Amino acid sequence: MTPDSMTEIWVYLSAQPLLWLTLTLAIYLLAVFLHRKSGGLPAVNPVLISVSILVALLLATGTPYQRYFDGAQFVHFLLGPTTVALAVPLHAQLKRLLAMSGPLLIALVVGSLVAGLSAYAIGAWLGASAPTLASLAPKSVTTPIAMGIAERLGGLASLTAVFVILTGIFGAIFATGILRCLGVKDEASVGFAMGLASHGIGTARAFQLSEQTGAFAALAMGINGLFTALTLPWLLPMLAPLLR
Amino acid sequence: MIAALATLLAFQLAGEALRAALHLPVPGPVIGMALLLVWLVIRRGPGEPLRHTSGTLLQNLSLMFVPAGTGVMLHMGRLADEAWPIAIALVASTVLGIVAAGLTLHRLTRHQEDAQ
């Protein structure tokens, strides 16, 4: 094959959704393979590896994100039905969840307020700009909720999505280690903390630990999304002058 | 598998419809999750196909975040300009959130866990 015909094939394929959809799946499979090879090391996070490789590839080939997303949107779409599917492990743990409903609600309020307000306060203290701060505050909740909250606070939805995912990756990598240092090892507390502070990516990691840990993470993610959506949009403008 | 996928999509659709009708601040899929949970309680658990398909999707939950995560490339400029405030605020508040939620639940349920 001549270099010219190679270029031609590339030009044709890179404009098709099929190429970037296939590459997204193939690179994810590679990332999962590396994760398993590492013995399930949290630092070898599949989302982190996949995103790093894809960004490098898109920048190297000069492909705009929008063209990439034309293909990857089919994977992105699955986030919806997969969120619905979280009801199945929740149902399996329902008795245990209901028996702990008091402590779970208190942990929700404490954890949610600490995660959201501290992000704003620390960012403000370090001199981050107003749109950045408004995009940081909802970073612990699942992407679509966080984007909606950020817009109401004057943030940038797409920047929020990035913060949400960076938060998720960080939580998925470090949560178990941090909690172990504090002597917190029970599945309920570990799972709940992971889902609350690092939403779906933390929940994905929690499911790797055990189904019970995953169920508590899924619950925390869901109720923290609800709680944050209902409180942060009015609480933050009220407290913002105090946090600066 | 198709029937299970249709079930999940139908609950997502119901969630979206409810969100639009009542102007709820929560996304459709999260409402769909709550509706499916209620349905599973009424039906006393999922059938085997739904259990299997849900398990497969949830095992690959990480994959679903890759397309949105790749959007980081659109914000390289802002991330570079405000790298330190963003990095410190993000890391510190996430650690604080993990500690606050984990420690609170652990302290409140310790006796319960011991009893089991």
Pick the residue from chain B with its C-alpha nearest to A65: B71
Residue whose C-alpha is closest to residue A174's, from A18, A75, A45: A45
Q: What type of residue sits at position A13?
A: L
* pLDDT value for A92: 87
A102 touches chain B (CB under 8 A): yes
Q: Which long-range contacts (CB under 8 A, 24 or more apart) does B10-19 make?
A: B11/A84, B11/A87, B11/B35, B11/B36, B11/B39, B12/A80, B12/A81, B12/A83, B12/A84, B15/A84
Share above pLDDT 70 across residues of chain A, in percent, rounded to a whole number: 99
Q: Which of 19-48 (A) contact B at CB < 8 A?
A: 24-25, 27-28, 32, 45-47
Helices (H) and strands (E) in chain A, counts: 13, 0
The SS3 of residue A10 is helix
* pLDDT value for A146: 85
* pLDDT surpassing 80 at residue A195: yes
* pLDDT surpassing 60 at residue B115: no
Which residues of chain A neighbour B102 with C-beta distances below 8 Å? 111, 175, 178-179, 182, 184, 189-190, 192-193
Q: CA B9 to CA B3: how far, in whole Å?
A: 10
Residue A153 Cα, gap to closest chain B Cα (Å): 14
Which residues of chain A neighbour B71 with C-beta distances below 8 Å? 65, 69, 158, 161-162
Query: If you write DSSP's letter for every residue of A52-94 in order, what string do you get?
Result: HHHHHHHHHTT--HHHHHHHHHHHHHTHHHHHHHTHHHHHHTH
* Contact yes or no for A128 and B5 at CB 8 A: no
Pick the residue from chain A with its C-alpha nearest to B31: A84
Residue with tokens 């399930």: A40
Tens digit of pLDDT for each residue in B35-92? Answer: 999 999 999 989 999 999 999 998 888 898 899 889 889 988 888 888 899 999 999 9
* pLDDT value for A216: 93
Q: Is the dihedral of CA B13, A216, A220, B68 positive or negative?
A: negative
Tens digit of pLDDT for each residue in A120-147? Answer: 999 999 999 999 999 999 998 888 778 8
**How many CB atoms within 10 Å of residue B89?**
27
Residue with tokens 């849900």: B54
Angle between helices B83-115 and A187-209 (to 10 degrees): 110
* pLDDT value for B112: 63
* Contact yes or no for A81 and B97 at CB 8 A: no
* Contact yes or no for B100 and A111 at CB 8 A: yes
Q: What is the ipTM of this complex?
A: 0.88
